[in-house]
Chains A and B, each alone.
Chain A
Amino acid sequence: MRYAMAIDTKKCVGCSDCVVACQTENNVPIGYARDWVAEMVAGTYPNVELEIRSERCNHCDNAPCVRCCPTGASHIIDGGIVKVTPEECIGCGACIQSCPYDARYSHPEGYVDKCTFCDHRVEDGLDPACVAVCPTKCMYFGDLDDPSSDVSEAMKNRNYKALAPEAGTDPQIFYLL
């Protein structure tokens, strides 16, 4: 079982609902963000292209943050979701240094925090909060090993890319182009 996310850049309008929904679902403190929206513009007026992406921790298959954690607080659970156990985290910041996506941050209570694919919702068979709230339904979540899951279906017959593949982390969030 390998959880992954596919995000359709053709439908995303950059409304950032995913950011607010994550904040209210996971009690993310004001001033912090587990996910964010990036925009890329290329060209010269009026020949312009636009790509909008909702980004978060990529729950990489080859996660450097898990490798470099000295206490094992950063660990991988069923399905490949990368999580942090607050009581085992010493706040050394090594994982933050090791993430090429800058997906982690230091929670005001001292431990390191980040997107958890809302594993508490996934356990109950629900989608992560960001996927569930997206008004354009451009986000798909599910088991990549299951060809009939939402995410596998979404990726069929579509070109897609992952972010910073040259960092070698094997990220599991795919942007449909």
Chain B
Amino acid sequence: MNKEKINHPFIAPDGFFEEFKVEISEKMSVQEEKNHGRFRKILLIGFKYAAIIALSFFLGRESMRLFNPESSTSVQSEYFSVDAVYSQVSEDEISDYIIENVSVNELDQLNLKQ
């Protein structure tokens, strides 16, 4: 075997290596684009979930503030009482009420401010 070296019988098609270089470079570019697209998709999904979590947190906190019977009874009653007054009494009646219960001096001061 050392006397005369026998080569292998394999041959490559003409221009194969030149074509291969171009082909593999294209494949790499396509795959890189795919990877970028996948990364953007994952990022978008992440943002979506973050927005949903933030919104849920905000809504949860607001509803707790409004409807928590222990901490917000005063706020709640204020909302309801003001609503009740405004829904049952006309604006003229409210003005009359203010005028009747305010002294002349106080009215003057109000007018001066305006």
Question: Do A and B belong to a common assembly?
Answer: no
